[in-house]
Structure 1
Amino acid sequence: MSLRSRGFTLLELLVVVSIIALATAGVGIAMRDSGQTLVEREAARLAALLESARAQSRGGGIPVVWRANPRGFQFEGLPPSAQATLPSQWLDSGTAVRGNGVLVLGPEPLIGRQQVLITHQAFPERTLSVATDGVRPFTVETVQ
């Protein structure tokens, strides 16, 4: 009868350490800062909406203005059917615009450099810019 040593093999220990490392990484990703995520989501959505309205303005040859208001925002100049397809409220009621809340979207292909600053009332230190140089599409940029 031989004495067999008790314990774990190196392979078993490596598997357990790998599982712990993957679980820790998953938890770290899941616990991402909700304030930053909220503002990023609103800014990305606004950039897409602005590009949609800009395309409709160019296609129809009509001037379109985006204007922030206390309850959300509105697109002025679009026909009623087009306005019905575009939302007029933020995803979260705490989202706000800092500074200038008016953007001219067309109908000219070159609209000039414009930006709007998006923030959240609960996270005022987190501000993102939705901006264009007048030629390229609106993009989300971090405010320094």
Structure 2
Amino acid sequence: MNRSRGFTLLELLVVVSIVALATAGVGLALRDSGQALIEREAARLAALLESARAQSRAGGIPVRWRGDAGGFRFEGLPPSAQAALPSQWLDAGTTVLAPTVLVLGPEPLIGPQQVLITHQAHPERTLRVATDGVRPFTVEPAR
């Protein structure tokens, strides 16, 4: 008695589910590194600007952030605070689109300000780090 045995519907569904999960995992793992790099730089910059803004208000001193093609720097902070804040991008290819100066305080309310950052390898991808002067700096797609 030669009986041919095939796969059950349940076995086929399990295999298809495993293949779908593996495909989804690969898709997430292969996320565009250029966009992730710019997003990481923008989030870091927003946090640094908020830190300097808080130090400016706490110390009652005017602080400026100056960004250009070579990097960025904070001006006006005491030397100890200045040394604690970085002055370089995480990746050397990151740059601001135009030389920019942001005034971070000491007033609690500052005017609306923004800086556009991009990466030399991906110039079509630009993010905007901005505040309306009341709320914290946030990362937004460039308009």
What TM-score bracket applies, with the shorter chain setting the length?
over 0.9
What 5-or-longer segments of structure 2 have no aligned partner? none
CA deviation map 1:117-143 (0-9, x unaligned): 000001000000000000000000001
The alignment status of 1:78 with 2:41, answered yes or no, reads: no
Q: Which one-letter code corresponds to 1:6 in the other structure?
A: R
**Aligned residues: CA RMSD:** 1.1
Whole-Å Cα distance in 1 between the matches of residues 130 and 124 of structure 2? 19
Q: Secondary structure at the match of 1:50?
A: helix
> Deviations along 1:65-90, whole A, 9 cap, x unmatched?
00013431100000011111111100
TM-score, with structure 2 as normaliser: 0.96
Partner amino acid, structure 2, of 1:45: R
Instruction: Give per-residue Cα distances to partners, 1:76-122, cap 9 Å, x unaligned.
Output: 00001111111110000000001241100000011100000000001
1:55 counterpart residue number: 54
In structure 2, give the amino acid aligned to 1:107: P
Q: What TM-score do the two structures reach when normalised by structure 1?
A: 0.95
Structure-2 separation of matches of 1:32 and 1:74 = 31
1:140 aligns with 2:139: yes
- 1:110 alignment partner in structure 2: 109
The superposition leaves residues 19-73 of structure 1 with CA deviations (integer Å, 9 ceiling, x where unpaired) of 1000100111111111111111100000000000000000000000000134311
Give the match for residue 28 of structure 1.
27
Runs of 4+, deviation exceeding 2 Å: 2-5
**SS of 1:128 mapped into structure 2:** strand
Provide the secondary structure at the position in 2 that maps to 1:136.
coil
Query: May I ask how many residue pairs the two structures share in their alignment?
Result: 143
Give the match for residue 8 of structure 2.
9
Residue 121 of structure 2 corresponds to residue 122 of structure 1: yes
1:53 alignment partner, SS class? helix
For residue 119 of structure 1, what is the amino acid of its counterpart?
T
* Structure-1 residue corresponding to 2:64: 65
1:4 shift after superposition: 4.0
Identity, % of aligned positions: 81
